[in-house]
Amino acid sequence: MHTKSISELARGLRAGDFSSLELTEHFLGRIKQHPKLNAYVTVTEQQALAQAQAADKRLAAGDPSLLLGLPIAHKDIFCTLGIKTSCGSKMLDNFIAPYNATVVDMLNAAGTVTLGKLNMDEFAMGSSNETSHYGPVKNPWATDCVPGGSSGGSAAAVAAGLAVAATGTDTGGSIRQPAAFCGITGLKPTYGRVSRYGMVAYASSLDQGGPMARSAEDAAILLQAMAGFDAKDSTSVDRAVPDYSAALTQPLAGLKIGLPKEFFNADLNSRIAAVLEAALAEYRTLGAETLPVTMPSLKLAIPAYYVIAPAECSANLSRFDGVRFGHRCENPTDLTDLYTRSRGEGFGREVKRRILMGTYALSAGYYEAYYIKAQKIRRLISEDFKRVLTEVDVIMGPVAPTTAFAIGEKIGNPMEMYLADIYTIAVNLAGVPALSVPAGFLDGKPVGLHIIGNYFAEGRLLNVAHQYQQVTAWHQHTPTL
């Protein structure tokens, strides 16, 4: 049952082939069988079984909700009432959320069953899921390799069949890069499309929640339940939510695909380039046209991001001080000692590094030189996307410069780790939507194709991905565990 799509499982539930309780027990059993993947921080078995029983009653009453009774899991950055929300950090290891994130409420209303909370890089800071207080998640395709980050637990759980689908968040590629490394479909929506209320903030102007699933069709179904205006989130956009599934079948004849020369240059691994070229050939067969484009500001994305994101992180994480919630040091001698030791003990090395970087960039004398300049570069990047997306329908390229790398390979070199997101970061700076779709394998490890669209064009992106998945089977491959 764990290899079936959302639509297949929904049909099975309505046909009486199995109950939600049986389906939930199957997934809970798989989680217990594969603890070494370390995908889950918390498994909510009793709650899941109760939700499954309630879903079975709704199914028996004829409730048509497509997600009703399906077991999913949440990245441990979404607040969940009465359940630990750790953000992968010692700082929040004892934090029990007193409310649900809006995304959690919306998926609960759709009838999903929550299996638990998924492991992640600490406070979403990382590209490998190695900065988690709970240890690294292992890639189900190669357990000596990382699953990507920061939504590595979500990607690994979906790929390994430990959840039907999962929620993730993306600040600089944290849905798309792990989706690529684990061979699943992951979508970062337009900034403001999905509520950020109850999603613990890393960089408020960049963070965005989104769906992670096996296929574009499954991602469309999940996004339908997640998207929408939320008055509790000041960054939420009041815009009607289209029927994402209805757009999936649109043919691709006449589709214009832009290929930025900044992506397809000598720096791109030639073997990854060959996989992407095979995917592009499939699109040409489907009637699409590929066109070269140029986006000169893309080369500035990494330095701009690593000023803006740490600056926002420095502000957002100042609330974790040992006073109101979270980790508190023992026997502080005074207030300064309380702050210093609580934060020193509670935060990991990468989080501390980014707080220091951000505080420096915001400090007197450097604010204009770094932060303001980075924001000006951000505007240039946005203008590049706006210009190119008037010439083409979508942009395509690589998701990451490599396939999944070995655990421990890059963790000691922050600069090398930051470059793992070189192809994804610009999307967050501009706020446009993008997804990763499985496009092949290299040495037994998945490769993702990056598809970027215009603002609020999630339906078109999902359509483009779905049509590709109708003529390829990369998304149907599952790891042997």
Catalytic residue numbers read 75, 150, 174
What span, in angstroms and rounded, lies between the C-alpha atoms of 4 and 12?
Answer: 10
Closest CA to 57 of 13, 100, 17: 13
Q: How far is CA 293 from the centre of its chain?
A: 27
Exposed, middle or buried, 64 (CB in 10 Å: 0-12/13-18/19+)?
exposed
Of 405, 437, 432, 440, which Cα lies nearest the Cα of 419? 405
- Compute the radius of gyration of the chain from its Cα atoms: 21
* Nearest C-alpha neighbor of 428 from the set 247, 185, 172, 240: 172
Sheet order of strands, 113-118 included: 40-43, 113-118, 71-75, 166-170, 208-213, 185-188, 434-442, 445-452, 394-398, 256-260, 289-293
Burial grade of 369 (CB within 10 A; 0-12, 13-18, 19 or more): exposed
How many CA atoms does the CB half-sphere of 33 hold within 13 Å?
12
d(CA 72, CA 95) in angstroms, rounded, equals: 22
Angle at the Cα of 168 from the Cα atoms of 309 and 455, rounded to 5 degrees: 70
On the CB side of 211, CA atoms within 13 Å amount to 27
Tell me the β-bridge partners of 42.
117
